[in-house]
């Protein structure tokens, strides 16, 4: 090793790893060691967090992303006038020339369709909730409902990318990466940004790893995906024949080589990679403990429902999200696929709601009974909503809904937001926002604010320009702040 340190110019890192017999896969997390084209000039802050700009109200975030675009009209936005006018053509005065997707722009008829599911008011707040969500109906007084969300993206990929990165074009850092970069981790044995993917129905819209990518931020801030099965994080375990002591010795000597290279190049990504390797080493103990639900009391698993015992389900991931939150993971992103219902909506949305309703309500109750809802923010929502007219043929029993970016519903619960309120309003047919609109960038600015971060000050200089999550937009949604 001493010989290698004296002759670093003769050995590339690839050659060194090959000669030691460990390899990159056995050394650290493959999800963290992404190829990067960053250089020293584009990396200003390295691995050191920037910190808060003011006192935060939120210590950690659990973001339950419902991929595919859940229909607000079947779940939260009750529209009796739409039900009354079922089958009538959508008035031009309501559509106002707004664009449609290619899936319905050629339809000769665009009949309005009201939900086939009943709504009732619940809690002291009197919030309207569909019969599809009996468990969420029981926690409405904990929820801050935003019924006036809108976006500019009308198709899945740009719309999800917009919500997760602040841009419709791929390549920007995700929300979790920005949070990791700005605030760092409060648990040295787990990443600041963890990702859980739930099993979705066959044919569901795909969810790409770039949605939790670090973009141009140091690679340390990329989200780490936790998987079901015996290896929750790929390439974390030591290769056969390598002991923990061997790994520790190896990392110590590797750091010496990286320090020599850093002295020459001043490339901050070198420091980020060493931090990744060290994190991988510590995670070998922390991850198995965190992912194990065998010690959870039966009354807790019963609360989340029978699917909680099936790894990879939404219910199982909701429980794992709580366990990661207990370990002070800063940003936990859960993706739940299968909400894209262009046809056969009444049946398909019932299936999705059944898989989501009980575990979501259980997560809120579980956090509350542990005193964690006081400093945890839970977010529920998708990339856009659904149209108030039917895609395809409308029958008394069946219909579909196309993508609708002009208005949809999200909700939050927990730290920093008002409980039991509905913010914003859509028109009587559920097609346009008529009060208190909330743009995607407004949502992102408010989320960062709750974490103690000024969205205009959390920036990163890349290729001569200072970037931020909200680009040059975004304003606080003050009406929902507690």
308-341 per-position pLDDT tens digit: 999 999 999 999 999 999 999 999 999 999 999 9
Decide if 397 is inside a domain. yes
Decide if 22 is inside a domain. no
Amino acid 280: pLDDT: 59
Decide if 2 is inside a domain. no
Amino acid 185: pLDDT: 87
Residue 334 contacts by C-beta under 8 Å, 6 or more apart in sequence? 62, 63, 64, 65, 195, 196, 197, 198, 314, 317, 318, 321
pLDDT per residue as tens digits for the range 403-426: 999 999 999 999 999 999 999 999
**pLDDT range class, residue 16, cuts 50, 70, 90:** very low
Decide if 241 is inside a domain. yes
Decide if 446 is inside a domain. yes
pLDDT per residue as tens digits for the range 358-371: 999 999 999 999 99
Tell me the whole-structure pTM to 2 decimals: 0.84
Residue 190 contacts by C-beta under 8 Å, 6 or more apart in sequence? 283, 286, 287, 290, 324, 327, 328, 329
How many folded domains does the chain comprise? Answer: 1
Amino acid 286: pLDDT: 64
- Polymer length in residues for the chain: 482
Decide if 17 is inside a domain. no
CATH number, residue 397: 3.40.720.10
Closest by CA position to 453, among listed 179, 188, 111: 179
Amino acid 9: pLDDT: 47
**pLDDT range class, residue 435, cuts 50, 70, 90:** very high
Cα–Cα distance, 467 to 464 (Å, whole number): 10
R_g (Cα) of the chain, nearest Å: 24
Q: What percent of the chain has pLDDT over 90?
A: 71
Cα–Cα distance, 28 to 31 (Å, whole number): 9
pLDDT per residue as tens digits for the range 115-150: 999 999 999 999 999 999 999 999 999 999 999 999
What value does the mean pLDDT of the chain take?
Answer: 86
The whole domain housing 197 covers 60-480
Which residue do the tokens 């999550």 mark? 469
Decide if 3 is inside a domain. no
Decide: 58 and 376 in contact? Cβ < 8 Å: yes
pLDDT per residue as tens digits for the range 168-192: 999 999 999 999 999 998 888 888 9
Cα–Cα distance, 448 to 316 (Å, whole number): 27
Decide if 257 is inside a domain. yes
pLDDT per residue as tens digits for the range 231-264: 666 555 666 766 667 666 666 666 677 677 767 7
- Whether the pLDDT of residue 274 is over 70: the answer is no
- Whether the pLDDT of residue 44 is over 60: the answer is no
């Amino acid at each position: 090793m001493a010989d290698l340190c004296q002759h670093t110019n003769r050995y590339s890192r690839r050659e060194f790893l090959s000669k030691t017999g460990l390899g990159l896969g056995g050394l650290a997390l493959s999800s963290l060691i992404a190829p990067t084209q960053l250089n020293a000039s584009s990396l200003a802050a390295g691995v050191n967090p920037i910190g808060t700009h003011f006192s935060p109200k939120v210590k950690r975030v659990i973001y339950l992303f419902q991929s595919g675009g859940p229909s607000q009209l079947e779940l939260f936005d009750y529209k009796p006038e739409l039900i009354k006018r079922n089958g009538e053509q959508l008035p031009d005065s309501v559509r106002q020339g707004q664009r449609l997707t290619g899936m319905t722009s050629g339809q000769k008829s665009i009949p309005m369709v009201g939900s086939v599911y009943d709504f009732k008011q619940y809690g002291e707040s009197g919030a309207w909730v569909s019969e599809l969500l009996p468990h969420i109906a029981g926690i409405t007084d904990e929820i801050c409902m935003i019924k006036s969300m809108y976006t500019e993206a009308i198709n899945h990929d740009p719309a999800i990318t917009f919500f997760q990165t602040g841009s419709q074009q791929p390549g920007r850092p995700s929300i979790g990466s920005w949070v990791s970069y700005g605030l760092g981790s409060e648990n040295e044995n787990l990443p600041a940004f963890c990702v859980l993917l739930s099993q979705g129905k066959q044919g569901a819209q795909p969810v790409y790893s770039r949605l939790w990518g670090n973009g141009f931020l140091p690679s340390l801030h990329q989200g780490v995906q936790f998987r079901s099965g015996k290896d929750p994080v790929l390439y974390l375990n030591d290769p056969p024949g390598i002991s923990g002591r061997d790994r520790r010795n190896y990392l110590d000597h590797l750091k010496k080589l990286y320090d020599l290279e850093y002295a020459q190049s001043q490339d901050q990504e070198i420091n980020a990679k060493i931090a990744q390797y060290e994190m991988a080493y510590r995670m070998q103990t922390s991850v198995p403990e965190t992912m194990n639900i065998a010690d959870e009391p039966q009354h807790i698993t019963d609360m989340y429902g029978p699917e909680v015992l099936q790894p990879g389900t939404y219910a199982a991931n909701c429980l794992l999200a709580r366990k990661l939150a207990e370990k002070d993971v800063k940003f936990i992103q859960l993706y739940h696929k299968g909400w894209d219902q262009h046809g056969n909506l009444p049946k398909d949305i019932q299936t999705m709601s059944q898989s989501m309703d009980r575990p979501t309500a259980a997560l809120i109750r579980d956090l509350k009974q542990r005193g964690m809802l006081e400093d945890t923010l839970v977010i529920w929502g998708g990339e856009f909503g659904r149209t108030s007219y039917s895609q395809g043929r409308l029958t008394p029993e069946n219909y579909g809904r196309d993508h609708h970016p002009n208005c949809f519903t999200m909700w939050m619960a927990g730290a920093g937001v008002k409980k039991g309120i509905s913010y914003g309003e859509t028109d009587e047919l559920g097609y346009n926002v008529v009060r208190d609109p909330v743009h995607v960038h407004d949502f992102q600015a408010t989320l960062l604010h709750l974490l103690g971060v000024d969205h205009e000050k959390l920036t990163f200089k890349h290729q001569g320009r200072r970037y931020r999550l909200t680009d040059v937009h975004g304003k606080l949604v003050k009406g929902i702040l507690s």
